[in-house]
Amino acid sequence: MSRAVGTYPSRAVVDLDAVAHNLRVLRGRAPHSLQMAVVKAGAYGHGQLPVALTALAAGADWLGVAQVEEALELRAALDAHGVPRDSAPILAWIAPSGQDWARAVEADIDLSVSWTWTLAEIAAAARSLGHPARIHVKVDTGMSRAGSTPEDLPALAAAVRTAVDGGQVELVGAWSHLSRADDPSPEGLASTAEHVAIFESGLEVLARAGLHPSIRHLSATAGALWHPEAHYDMVRIGIGMYGLSPDPEVEGSAELGLRPAMRLEAPLTSVKVVAADRPVSYGGTWRTPTRRWMGLVPLGYADGILRAASNAGPVTVLADGGPIATHVVGRVCMDQFVIDLGPARDDQASAAEDAPARVGDTAVLFGDPARDRVPSADQWARVCGTINYEIVSRLGERVPRVHIHEGGNTAGGEGRE
Ligand SMILES: *Cc1c(COP(=O)(O)O)cnc(C)c1O
């Protein structure tokens, strides 16, 4: 979807210098490991290609995505930008049966293998191309999601050995994922220790089959931050690159030295006075406690503003008289929501010169509170009963992403994805 800046009222401003800064900070936390920049789901809503190019320029060694389709799209875009494939290895880890593996192998996409049937499909594609597929064997270390269980792994290792000997695959990596790396409780720490132990025995199973993957990787951002013992040869950095903490209760962005890269904002489309005791939005779940100034923000649940933010989501309006910190009142609608701009005097009417804010003033839903005194994605997550990952990654496709550098200049061309 392509939408010119200026024709859609809201926008997500993504500071690519913050992305680069965050990767440097995280490099310092895992200095001896390769760094994979995870750009799945449109770079968590931040725009896949601009973030991937920024990450590579900032020194990221690998790119990671979930779906093979995402990897193919990314490879095509990087090729078009003249990025050499060997300086931008891509791993895709979702492996559905019947995937067009040949296209993936031709695009030099590394693939994750958890099951012998996946390996058989990939090896068949590689045989027909006459070109080995690059794979990372995934061990199930305690998520019970993808990955080969300790019981299944010996058979998978034997099959990988055969495919390596036959020239159909090259074993690049062995990997897994931690389920409680953000949990500092004794149970959380024991869980991570158990993941590491199962991973280690998985590596031994592979070694007994004569398989010695050069890149062992177990940690996402939380592991990179809080579990040096799980860094291995590479860490996979997602949420931290976007300047958000995997768990703000453990340590927040500012404490970690991370800068939230996305600012979500929209101009007020209405500022008016509503009489006391009037219902606001669907269901009338909020009533004006007094005669009130109400603002209207053109973002709704179709844009990814969760309806759970009704009567709660924090918003700061950048008004001439200074920032107004307020929140959503009434229910979030599909395309818009109402905010409270404070009490109106009896002599004030909607068009008053001394209105607290004006049509066109910018309402910021979230950004970097340490820099701009605006709400955070973490606050939105809290009021919505979810995590910051969901707040940014569910941002709707119709919201334009505007990529800037620190100084505020738009990056390359229109600065648009
Ligand atoms: C999404 C994902 C990551 C990145 O996780 P963050 O917590 O965002 O750093 C890493 N590895 C896998 C397998 C993932 O699915």
pLDDT at site 239: 98
Measured from the Cα of 40, ligand 1's closest atom is: 1
With a 6 A CB cut-off, is 237 part of the ligand 1 pocket?
Answer: yes
With a 6 A CB cut-off, is 38 part of the ligand 1 pocket?
Answer: yes
Give mean pLDDT, residues 167-196.
98
Supply the residues annotated as catalytic.
Answer: 40, 282
Does the pTM of the predicted model rise above 0.85? yes
Looking only at the bridges linking them, the beta strands covering 133-138 and 109-113 are: parallel
Q: Cα of 240 to ligand 1 centre, how many Å?
A: 10
Q: Residue with structure tokens 């790396």? A: 181
pLDDT at site 6: 61
- Cα–Cα–Cα angle for 322, 325, 327, nearest 5°? 145
Cα–Cα distance measured from residue 281 to residue 270, given in angstroms and rounded to the nearest whole number: 14
- Could you give phi then psi for residue 143, rounded to 5 degrees? -90, -25
Decide if pLDDT at 151 tops 90.
yes
Q: What digits encode the pLDDT tens for the residues 81-114?
A: 999 999 999 999 998 999 999 999 999 999 999 9
With a 6 A CB cut-off, is 221 part of the ligand 1 pocket?
Answer: yes
Q: Which two tokens stand for residue 195?
A: 């993941």
Cα–Cα distance measured from residue 120 to residue 126, given in angstroms and rounded to the nearest whole number: 10
Q: Cα of 237 to ligand 1 centre, how many Å?
A: 7
pLDDT at site 352: 82
In Å, how far from its chain's centre is CA 118? 27
Q: Which two tokens stand for residue 24?
A: 């440097």
Cα–Cα distance measured from residue 213 to residue 54, given in angstroms and rounded to the nearest whole number: 28
Give mean pLDDT, residues 160-175.
98
Question: Cβ distance 34 to 215 under 8 Å?
Answer: yes
Angle in degrees, 0-180, between the axes of helices 48-57 and 16-29, rounded to the nearest 10: 50
With a 6 A CB cut-off, is 238 part of the ligand 1 pocket?
Answer: yes
Q: What digits encode the pLDDT tens for the residues 217-258?
A: 999 999 999 999 999 999 999 999 999 999 999 999 999 999
Measured from the Cα of 240, ligand 1's closest atom is: 9
pLDDT at site 155: 98
pLDDT at site 3: 52
Q: What separation, in Å, do the N-terminal and C-terminal C-alpha atoms of the chain show?
A: 9
Cα–Cα distance measured from residue 95 to residue 69, given in angstroms and rounded to the nearest whole number: 11
Measured from the Cα of 246, ligand 1's closest atom is: 7
Q: Cα of 37 to ligand 1 centre, how many Å?
A: 9
Task: Let me know how long the chain is.
Answer: 417
Cα–Cα distance measured from residue 169 to residue 137, given in angstroms and rounded to the nearest whole number: 11
Q: Average the pLDDT over each of 26-35, 51-60, 255-264, 399-408 and give the range with the smallest value.
A: 399-408
pLDDT at site 2: 47
User: Which letter, b or e, does each residue of 73-108 get, where b requires 16 or more Cβ atoms within 10 Å of its Cβ?
Assistant: bbbeebeeeebeeeebbbbbbbbeeebebbbbbebb
Question: Cβ distance 178 to 124 under 8 Å?
Answer: no
Q: Cα of 161 to ligand 1 centre, how many Å?
A: 28
pLDDT at site 407: 57
- Residue 291's closest CA among 216, 232, 355? 355
Q: Count each helix (H run) and each strand (E run) in the chain, helices first.
A: 13, 19
Q: Which two tokens stand for residue 79?
A: 């090729």
Decide if pLDDT at 124 tops 90.
yes
Q: Cα of 64 to ligand 1 centre, how many Å?
A: 9
pLDDT at site 408: 60
Confidence of residue 414 (pLDDT cuts 50, 70, 90): very low
Measured from the Cα of 389, ligand 1's closest atom is: 8
Q: Residue with structure tokens 């007994």? A: 208
With a 6 A CB cut-off, is 236 part of the ligand 1 pocket?
Answer: yes
If you take atom 4 of ligand 1, which residue's CA is the nearest one? 238
Q: Cα of 227 to ligand 1 centre, how many Å?
A: 15
If you take atom 11 of ligand 1, which residue's CA is the nearest one? 220
Q: What digits encode the pLDDT tens for the residues 318-373?
A: 999 999 999 999 999 999 999 999 999 999 888 888 999 999 999 999 999 999 99
Decide if pLDDT at 412 tops 50.
no
If you take atom 15 of ligand 1, which residue's CA is the nearest one? 66
- Residue 258's closest CA among 20, 14, 13, 1? 20
Question: Cβ distance 366 to 278 under 8 Å?
Answer: no
With a 6 A CB cut-off, is 246 part of the ligand 1 pocket?
Answer: yes
Confidence of residue 4 (pLDDT cuts 50, 70, 90): low
Measured from the Cα of 177, ligand 1's closest atom is: 13
| 322 beta partners | 319
Measure Cα distances from 104 to 67, 168, 276, 280 in Å: 11, 14, 61, 51
| 14 beta partners | 262, 403
**What is the average pLDDT value for the chain, to the nearest integer?**
95
Measure Cα distances from 82 to 50, 85, 195, 257, 390 in Å: 14, 9, 39, 33, 33
- C-alpha count within 13 angstroms, C-beta hemisphere, residue 2: 4
**Which burial class, exposed, middle or buried, applies to 382 when counting CB atoms under 10 A from its CB (0-12, 13-18, 19+)?**
middle
